[in-house]
Amino acid sequence: MGSNTSQGVGVVETAAATAAKVTDAAAAGDKPKCKACCACPETKRARDQCIVENGEENCTKLIEAHKQCMRDQGFKI
């Protein structure tokens, strides 16, 4: 299971980078441009994969990165 941990680190870095890009792009407006189900697919995918493989309690960084991405796109969560 050691290989899953190393993959998780890359996923966290990718999700964080994606969230940062979305923050810059969405800084201009508050209203969501899409439905919640379609927003932040990269952070959502990384979060969901981590939860399935490691359990929710071990994925707090990815969960928070996805929440921040959603907020940055104008969703109130």
37 labelled ligand-binding: yes
Q: Residue 75 corresponds to which tokens in the numbers above?
A: 């969703």
69 labelled ligand-binding: no
DSSP, residue by residue, 57-71: GG-HHHHHHHHHHHH
Q: Residue 41 corresponds to which tokens in the numbers above?
A: 């697919």
Positions at the binding site for Cu cation: 37-38
Positions at the binding site: 37-38
